[in-house]
Amino acid sequence: MKAWLIPAALVASAAVAQPPRPVTIDAATMRRLGVVTAPARATAHTSAVSGFARVLDPIPLAQLDSDIAAAAATAAASAAEAKRAEALFASDATVSRKAAQAARAQAQGDAARLALLRRRLGLEWGPAIVRLGDARRDALVQALAAGRTALLRIDSAGGEGQAGLRTVTIDLGELGTVGATIIGPARAADPRLQSPGLIARANGAKASLLSTGLTVPANIHAVARSGIFVPAAAILRIGGASWAYVMTRPGTFARRRLQDPLPTTGGLFASGGISAGEAIVTSGASALYAAEHGGGPAE
């Protein structure tokens, strides 16, 4: 029986049992078999995960921002008053010790109330909002009030795709799409999806379309993975895995298993197995496989 008539399942099982061995052929045989190579091209692959975006109510943030501003002014005034009272008591006792102590206690109480409000900001809105600082947070609240921006909570089942996420696309149906940038993690998990959740910010003219409480689909763009592009003509499916031949030196070919292959236009994206710049066999791969196993062309 000729080798190319052997059932594909038997060929696959043999390939799994035996490790790939290099194939060496001369230039004339390469031409006869139609073996052609091309440099492996580095590329990146970004996968999309379906999720949900819910527009957050900005009023609690605006109220907290106002409370912090008022508390900060009160704390500054009481701290200055306590400093004056202590100075007067120390210089000529114009102010009694009791009055100076009361002013100091008032200043400490106002400072504690301000600290509590700042902790509430982190507990309710997350560290990203805290890092904005007072001026940038006030600018955010003004933009929210003017409809120039919107805050959203992004969730996906089990938090899929959220690690390292930078941007999402919000689907508004016939109104088009809106891009949003992740600014930080949310503070509470979604009880239905068991998602840790992320806070995103959408800017631009379409931000005014994002009404409070609106829940819409979101396409989560995961961080791009680096790898190589393998054209369809170079790929061999053997033993349930994807393989390709690489010319390691003139006339010598090694079969490599593609790591984490993902379908893409015209071939596969592989995160490993072949390095960028290596010569991939784009024509004649099945003939090399047959030569590797001492037979005719493989299916």
Per-residue pLDDT of 229-278, as tens digits, reads 999 999 999 888 899 999 999 989 999 999 888 888 888 888 889 988 89
Confidence of residue 10 (pLDDT cuts 50, 70, 90): very low
State whether 32 and 64 are in the same domain: no
My answer on whether 27 and 153 are in the same domain is: no
Asked which of 165, 193, 221 is the last residue of a domain, the reply is: 221
Domain end point (choices 191, 221, 251): 221
Q: Are residues 213 and 266 in the same domain?
A: no
Q: Is 299 within a domain?
A: no
Residues 13 and 100 in one domain: no
Confidence at residue 150, expressed as pLDDT on a 0 to 100 scale? 93
Q: 119: pLDDT confidence band, cut at 50, 70 and 90?
A: very high
Whether 268 is covered by a domain: the verdict is: yes
Q: How confident is the model at residue 135 (pLDDT cuts 50, 70, 90)?
A: very high
Domain boundary among 165, 190, 221: 221
In the predicted structure, residue 15 carries a pLDDT above the cut 60: no
pLDDT band at 298 (very low <50, low <70, confident <90, very high): very low
Q: At what angle do helices 97-125 and 59-92 cross, to 10 degrees?
A: 160
209 and 61 co-located in one domain: yes
Largest CA distance in the chain: 116
User: pLDDT grade, residue 290 (50/70/90)?
Assistant: confident
**Where residue 260 sits, what CATH number does that domain have?**
2.40.420.20
Regarding whether 76 and 28 lie in a shared domain, the answer is no
Q: In the predicted model, is pLDDT for residue 136 greater than 90?
A: yes
Q: Are residues 117 and 14 in the same domain?
A: no
**Measured between alpha carbons, how far is 182 from 166 in angstroms, rounded to an integer?**
5
Give CA–CA dist 3/193, Å, rounded. 53
Asked if pLDDT for residue 55 goes beyond 50, the answer is yes
Residue 297 covered by a domain: no
- Taking Cα atoms as reference points, which of 78, 10, 15 lies closest to residue 257? 15
Residues 6+ apart with CB under 8 A from 8: 298, 299
Quote the CA–CA distance of 258 and 227 in Å, as a whole number. 10
Please state which of the ranges 161-165, 186-190, 214-218, 234-238 shows the lowest mean pLDDT.
161-165
Number of domains within the chain: 2
**Pair 214, 95 in one domain:** yes
Are both 203 and 70 inside the same structural domain? yes
Q: Are residues 200 and 258 in the same domain?
A: no
| Same domain as 247, residue 187 | no
Question: Are both 35 and 68 inside the same structural domain?
Answer: no
* Cα gap 260→1, rounded to integer Å: 36
| Residue span of the structural domain in which 34 resides | 3-45+225-292
Q: What's the mean pLDDT when you consider all of the chain?
A: 83
